[in-house]
């Protein structure tokens, strides 16, 4: 059973389009995250949710809107895609807390043309 799953794995789209990435975890965790990995492999937090409530919003443009319908799902919607949005997006989950392990999904590679 996959612990943290994301769909789609690859997403190729044109500038200006709107797209969504879905994430689901079956670990029973309370906290979920979105991270962005750029072309140089650098990883940075974007958002975190705890039990459907937004906890961290790390100065991400308003075009990015996370949505958590329940604590097992955290989706990422991106409006008006730009070239600079091309990256790998990782979802993660944890029980929450400084020492808890965050479990990562396989990533979604977004390419904006």
Partner 1 sequence: GNSVTQMEGPVTLSEEAFLTINCTYTATGYPSLFWYVQYPGEGLQLLLKATKADDKGSNKGFEATYRKETTSFHLEKGSVQVSDSAVYFCALNPGDTDKLIFGTGTRLQVFP
Residue numbers of the site for partner 1 (CB under 8 A)?
4, 31, 33, 35, 40-45, 48, 50, 55-56, 58, 90, 92, 94, 96-99, 101-107
Identity of the residue, 56 or 72, whose beta carbon is nearer to partner 1 in the bound complex: 56
Give the shortest CB-70-to-partner 1 separation in angstroms: 19
Identity of the residue, 43 or 113, whose beta carbon is nearer to partner 1 in the bound complex: 43
Give the shortest CB-42-to-partner 1 separation in angstroms: 6
Three-state secondary structure string covering 39-56:
CCCCEEEEEEEECCEEEE
Establish how many alpha carbons lie within 13 A of residue 74's alpha carbon, considering only the half-sphere containing its beta carbon. Answer: 31
Identity of the residue, 14 or 98, whose beta carbon is nearer to partner 1 in the bound complex: 98
Give the shortest CB-16-to-partner 1 separation in angstroms: 29
* Selection from 80, 83, 81, 102 nearest residue 91 by Cα: 102
Report residue 31 as tokens: 């906290």
Identity of the residue, 49 or 112, whose beta carbon is nearer to partner 1 in the bound complex: 49
3-class secondary-structure state, position 84: helix
* Selection from 33, 54, 55, 53 nearest residue 44 by Cα: 33
């Amino acid at each position: 059973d996959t612990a943290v799953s994301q769909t789609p794995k690859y997403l190729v789209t044109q500038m200006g389009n709107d797209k969504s990435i879905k994430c689901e975890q079956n670990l029973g965790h309370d906290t979920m995250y979105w991270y962005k990995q750029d072309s140089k492999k650098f990883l940075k937090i974007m958002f975190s949710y705890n039990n459907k409530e937004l906890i961290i919003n790390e100065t991400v443009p308003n075009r990015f809107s996370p949505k958590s319908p329940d604590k097992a799902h955290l989706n990422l919607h991106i409006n008006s895609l730009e070239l600079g949005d091309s990256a790998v997006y990782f979802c993660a989950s944890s029980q929450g807390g400084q020492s808890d392990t965050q479990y990562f999904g396989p990533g979604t590679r977004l390419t904006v043309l």
